[in-house]
Structure 1
Amino acid sequence: MLEDGEEPVGVRVLTYQSSRSINTILNALNEDEIWYLRESSFGIFV
């Protein structure tokens, strides 16, 4: 839970959100960074 006024600013990825946010993030990364994510615990989303 966050206090009023302490909400994070920017793109947030939620489990019920479309993949548009994930695609925005992936489009900003280079090939090595994407490979790193694929090998991590976040690879399921890539």
Structure 2
Amino acid sequence: MQKFKLVSPFSPMGDQEEAIKQLVAGIKEGKKEQVLLGGTGTGK
């Protein structure tokens, strides 16, 4: 599988950095599904 790299002019704000770390950890652990709780403006 090819590596995925996200490039953005925006920087994480507030608690986003911790959320990103937790999501990445879940991916590395092989979790196939994860839920982002309480995300504002996620389009859910």
Q: Please classify the TM superposition score into its range, dividing by the shorter chain length.
A: under 0.3
State the structure with more CA Rg: 1
TM-score normalised to the size of structure 2? 0.27
Which one has the bigger helix percentage? 1
TM-score normalised to the size of structure 1? 0.27
